[in-house]
Structure 1
Amino acid sequence: MEKVTLFWFRRDLRLEDNSGLFYAYTQESNVLPLFIFDTEILEKLEDKKDARVAFIHQELQRLHRELAAFGSSLLVKYGSPLQVYGALLQEYDVQCVYTNRDYEPYARERDQSISDFLKTKNIPFLDFKDQVIFEKNEILTDSGQHYKVFTPYSRSWKQRLQAIKLSPVLLNPRNNKFLQTPPFPIPTLAEIGFQEADISIPPLEINRPLIQRYDETRNFPALSGTTRLGIHLRFGTISVRKLVSEAQALNETYLNELIWREFYMMILYHNPHVVDNAFKKAYDQIPWRDKPEEFQVWCEGKTGYPIVDAGMRELNATGYMHNRVRMITASFLTKHLLIDWRWGEAYFAKKLLDYELASNNGGWQWAAGTGTDAQPYFRIFNPTSQQEKFDKDRKYVEKWVPEWRSSDYPKPMVDHKFARERALETYKAVL
């Protein structure tokens, strides 16, 4: 059997500036890159045209081509990771497994089970920091606790950033450590039970002029004022170090958005209960209204509030929703309709190309008032004034809700004043 070192790709689909891959490449030999289409994840996806799966498949083909330039290949497997590793050990003499850390609860359990299995075979499982600048315990308060409020966390994060040098880790092609092998076949989308998607993925490009103006344009959904790099960060087709370096040089507001991502990852790591429960436990007592028919109206973008409906229709059509509008639609569901934030979070998880558990959960709990550093329960967005402020020329609304001025458009499903007072009374009663 051939001696190999496995490098396991997950949320880091690139050769450039990839920490775990760099260490495997510089410290070992015969590095065999591996990707597993994890059935534990795929079987939970209802939409067999899920654009995220098609995107991963497309990026694996790119990696395959890039590795061919090194005389190597990407080994792509489909199945449960534990079973895949069991089979690989029958085929190869695996010396060591390298990978990059993931902080979501399922990923942590999966990695622990793989590590435990490999330990029984005396095979080291080495994981590295890659998808964040600072991970779980690197930014702590003076008393050694994790932060629960964003502003002091971000201040501390930026101070730490000043003390390090963000330089990319690059592979030296002259010192080729990849396993030399003919190309392995990649399973087709159909073979893993999926189809090509109808939704197109934003290209991977860093628009520097846009980032420079980010603080001026980011709140206006009719403008192309955001980078649309969320899916690339989610699956690691771009390095967070590269984006943070750009943000440092170009725009602090954009840098803050990247810090929010790490803040929520840290919160999730230290408080895994937030996946199913409120960060602030008292909020689990809120008597949410069990109204699936009203939830469906919200999902379809037929609430009678144009800015809310535009956001939901944009999401359904493109897999993207402007960040300001995410706040408005989430506030509407949780405060105007008093429907459980978990319903909305699950819907976004199904639809968003850039879905990331920590940020999605953090954003929804922020809107519902149930989370860390959340919008207070008594602050309730007025969708009409939000529209006046951020889409006053109605360009965004006209694009997604062209019938909004006609008799075909529904009346508001709930009166704002009534809904606001109902939400305040409901929250006050349990807090």
Structure 2
Amino acid sequence: MQVPLVLFWFRRDLRFTDNAGLYHALTSGYPVLPLFIFDQHILEQLPSAKDRRVTFIYQALSGLKAESEALGSSVLVRYGKPLEVLGELLQTYQVKAVYANHDYEPAAMDRDQEVAAFLAAKGVSFNTYKDQVIFEKAEIVKDDGSPYRVFGAFKRKWLQNVTASALEPFPSQHNLQHLYKTAPLPMFSLESMGFELAEETAFPASVLPENLIRTYEQTRDLPSLPGTSRLGVHLRFGTISVREMVKQALQLNATWLGELIWREFFMMILFHFPHVVSRPFNLEYEHMQWHNNEELFARWCAGTTGYPIVDAGMRELKATGFMHNRVRMIAASFLVKHLLIDYRWGEAYFAENLLDFELASNNGNWQWCAGTGCDAAPYFRVFNPETQAKKFDKQQEYIRKWVPDVGTSAYPAPMVEHAFARERALATYKQALTQARNR
């Protein structure tokens, strides 16, 4: 006879510790079978069989399986389309409910609506919870209930509301005795899903040295130093608790805290303004006259623009799946403002290559650099790559690491002159705004 149980569906929350949805499942009164679905819809869109993110997830799941199997349980890992996988599991197990945590991306919310309707038709509840942010949806809004469009005001309201109760952890790790007892369950190999182990498997640590956080604002803009957190991938896939991160930031460093608030701001923007996935946040820029030169775009991707700081970032990205935050901003600004290439081309390239790719932050930051997003400053911010390099990589340590050919005859001349590019960008943006306002 089958034992009644509930499923906990891991998605962006690959941890047993301080996991809201898992905690609620474990205290439901039923044994909990953890589940992860390698979503066929998503995997089929990935361009490389050695996608670093798939390897990261696979390794995280292997750790969760080992942890659960030491407790006499396991993690069920499946590959397929979520509705089909869940349908099979309802036939295999006596499932009373499915638990998960909220996701805020439009495609994920559509998926969850379909899942909820499918399960409801089978008499199974679908219970989801807030976990990957401190505040979600309409929890931080203006006094009139409308969403914020400027970060500064959002941040002030966020800080007013971040009480101890908002950071209260969910002690899921203390309730693991309620996991479903089973022999170790088989796990799909990467090869069976059409993937291989990524070449670089030394992923960033999930624990930050305290001194790095304390000195964060002094080191974060210097790409030659290990002065940034590198926690993006862990926050993206939930291998760490954002509540724990925020508590640490509140104690140690306001600048680091601000970065965590930026992350939530962009998630809020994506939730309230889902059109940003494919269109400018500020729709006045929808008819920008982008040049979209494919040859210039290919050189930007390859890191052969003739601007060493830009090229260093692009080569670092290709080699490691990471690019320093300051350099991301310089490289993105260069593509959009110097080359007049649609920010969505660059956004898509980063989405393919960044280990820590997260839709809301990637989109929000690209639109910020492009001047089409929710930014208090107008479009006329155009970074000078040479000035930025002198300021943040004075000794060229970062540049020489990634662009060893700099200063040799093999290194290309700048593909466009800065002053010319700046004036051209300002004129193009001004024309787009004028046309939009005259429509």
Q: Aligned ranges for residues 55-204 of structure 1 at < 5 Å?
A: 55-162=56-163, 164=165, 166-171=167-172, 176-200=177-201, 201-204=203-206
Q: Aligned ranges for residues 283-298 of structure 1 at < 5 Å?
A: 283-298=285-300
1:264 aligns with 2:266: yes
Q: Aligned ranges for residues 27-426 of structure 1 at < 5 Å?
A: 27-162=28-163, 164=165, 166-171=167-172, 176-200=177-201, 201-373=203-375, 375-426=377-428
State percent identity of aligned pairs: 57
Q: Deviations over 1:65-108 (max 9, x none)?
A: 11112211101110000100111111111101110000001110
Question: Does the 8 Å contact 2:276/2:363 carry over to 1?
Answer: yes
- Alpha-carbon distance in structure 2 between the residues aligned to 1:274 and 1:365: 9
Q: Select between 370-379 and 210-219 the one with higher mean Cα deviation.
A: 370-379
- Alpha-carbon distance in structure 2 between the residues aligned to 1:29 and 1:170: 17
The letter for the 2-side match of 1:392 is: K
The letter for the 1-side match of 2:80 is: G
- Alpha-carbon distance in structure 1 between the residues aligned to 2:69 and 2:383: 53
Alpha-carbon distance change, 144 to 173 in structure 1, aligned in 2, over 3 angstroms:
closer
Shift in Å, 1:163: 5.5
What's the secondary structure of 1:98's corresponding residue?
strand
The letter for the 2-side match of 1:365 is: Q
What's the secondary structure of 1:162's corresponding residue?
coil
What's the secondary structure of 1:126's corresponding residue?
strand
The letter for the 1-side match of 2:119 is: L
Alpha-carbon distance change, 96 to 345 in structure 1, aligned in 2, over 3 angstroms:
same
Question: Does the 8 Å contact 2:21/2:131 carry over to 1?
Answer: yes
- Alpha-carbon distance in structure 2 between the residues aligned to 1:172 and 1:325: 38
- Alpha-carbon distance in structure 1 between the residues aligned to 2:41 and 2:250: 38
Q: Deviations over 1:273-295 (max 9, x none)?
A: 00000000010110101211100
- Alpha-carbon distance in structure 2 between the residues aligned to 1:117 and 1:374: 43
Residue of structure 1 in register with 2:437 after alignment: none
- Alpha-carbon distance in structure 1 between the residues aligned to 2:377 and 2:72: 53
Q: Deviations over 1:101-140 (max 9, x none)?
A: 0000111011110000001011110000000000011001
- Alpha-carbon distance in structure 2 between the residues aligned to 1:28 and 1:116: 24
The letter for the 2-side match of 1:37 is: F
- Alpha-carbon distance in structure 2 between the residues aligned to 1:236 and 1:186: 20
- Alpha-carbon distance in structure 2 between the residues aligned to 1:174 and 1:128: 17
The letter for the 1-side match of 2:64 is: L
- Alpha-carbon distance in structure 2 between the residues aligned to 1:363 and 1:45: 22
The letter for the 1-side match of 2:15 is: R
Shift in Å, 1:227: 1.1
Contiguous gaps of at least 5 residues in structure 2? 434-439
Shift in Å, 1:174: 7.1
Question: Does the 8 Å contact 2:16/2:173 carry over to 1?
Answer: no
Question: Does the 8 Å contact 2:76/2:185 carry over to 1?
Answer: yes
Shift in Å, 1:178: 1.1
Question: Does the 8 Å contact 2:336/2:342 carry over to 1?
Answer: yes
Shift in Å, 1:403: 1.4
Total equivalences in the alignment: 431
Q: Deviations over 1:28-77 (max 9, x none)?
A: 31111100000010000010000100110111110001111221110111
Root mean square deviation of aligned Cα? 1.2
- Alpha-carbon distance in structure 2 between the residues aligned to 1:373 and 1:144: 20
- Alpha-carbon distance in structure 1 between the residues aligned to 2:303 and 2:173: 51
The letter for the 2-side match of 1:307 is: I
The letter for the 2-side match of 1:384 is: E
Question: Does the 8 Å contact 1:365/1:374 carry over to 2?
Answer: no
TM-score (norm 2): 0.96
Shift in Å, 1:329: 0.3
- Alpha-carbon distance in structure 2 between the residues aligned to 1:124 and 1:206: 38
Shift in Å, 1:173: 5.0
What's the secondary structure of 1:4's corresponding residue?
strand
Question: Does the 8 Å contact 1:367/1:375 carry over to 2?
Answer: no
Alpha-carbon distance change, 34 to 355 in structure 1, aligned in 2, over 3 angstroms:
same
TM-score (norm 1): 0.98
Shift in Å, 1:343: 0.2
Question: Does the 8 Å contact 1:136/1:269 carry over to 2?
Answer: yes
Shift in Å, 1:172: 6.1
Question: Does the 8 Å contact 1:207/1:227 carry over to 2?
Answer: no
Alpha-carbon distance change, 40 to 285 in structure 1, aligned in 2, over 3 angstroms:
same
The letter for the 2-side match of 1:302 is: T
- Alpha-carbon distance in structure 1 between the residues aligned to 2:331 and 2:348: 14
